Amino acid sequence: MLAATSEGEFIANGRHGQRRSRVLAGHQRALAKVTERDQAGRCINRKAPERIAAARRVARASERAANCRLDALHKVAKRIVESADTIALEELKLGALTRSAKGTVAKPGRNVAAKSGLSRAMLDAGFGILARLIREKAANAAREVIAVDPRYSSQTCGRCLHVAAKSRRRRRFCCVACGWSVHADVAAALEIRRRAELRPTSMLSRERTPLTQHDAA
């Protein structure tokens, strides 16, 4: 899922890179077969016609995936901006979220494969691009965009405001204090919306569509 709104709408993740990964991998293998390297691993036939053709096929496959992703994100951003006067977005630190989890020799990382897979999925989803497009389209449409601190948003109850990590149960949020239950991403979106409404500079007048963008599954 790419995002969820406080109105309960779920926006699907197109997974454009993942869907085209087999085609891209095939072109990359073909490129590797026609690439000649010296003992130091440096390519020595960079200008060979067959290698140039193979490299172009790799580039075109990557470009198609990027174009499909960008087109889909443009459409999502347009729909979001048109649905609200004010949009609240989680101020995600994507650089930190997608940083390598390998660690060092002295302190190796844990669950490296799982974290790497999540990072690839987040980058493929294009959260940063979506946020940028929303801001650009909102500026052109005279809409307000509010960046909200996302810390503990997925652990905060939308009814009693109790904060507890145990309330988040994978895809469901069930408050350990009052029992309120809803989809976990909708709960986070509601909390993002509540925090945006508390800002004194925010004038939320019509329909509001805060987003939660922390799920790339």
What are 198's two structure tokens?
């508390």
- The per-residue pLDDT for range 77-119, each reduced to its tens digit, is 999 999 889 999 988 776 555 555 455 445 555 555 545 555 6
pTM value surpassing 0.85: no
Taking residues 171-184, report their average pLDDT: 94
Query: What pLDDT is stored for residue 156 in this prediction?
Result: 94
- Would you say 103 and 109 are in contact if contact means Cβ atoms under 8 Å apart? yes
Query: What pLDDT is stored for residue 211 in this prediction?
Result: 56
β-pair partners for 211: 5
User: Is the model more confident about 144 or about 1?
Assistant: 144
* Identity at 50, one-letter amino acid code: E
What are the boundaries of each domain within the chain? 3-212
Lowest average pLDDT, out of 12-26, 57-71, 155-169, goes to 12-26
Question: What is the rounded CA–CA span in Å between residue 122 and residue 184?
Answer: 18
Question: What is the rounded CA–CA span in Å between residue 19 and residue 17?
Answer: 6
Question: What is the rounded CA–CA span in Å between residue 132 and residue 139?
Answer: 11
Where does the pLDDT of residue 150 fall: very low under 50, low under 70, confident under 90, or very high at 90 and above? confident
Taking residues 169-195, report their average pLDDT: 93
Alpha helices in the chain (DSSP H): 16-19, 21-33, 49-82, 94-97, 112-125, 127-140, 184-198
Say which DSSP state 107 is in.
Answer: S
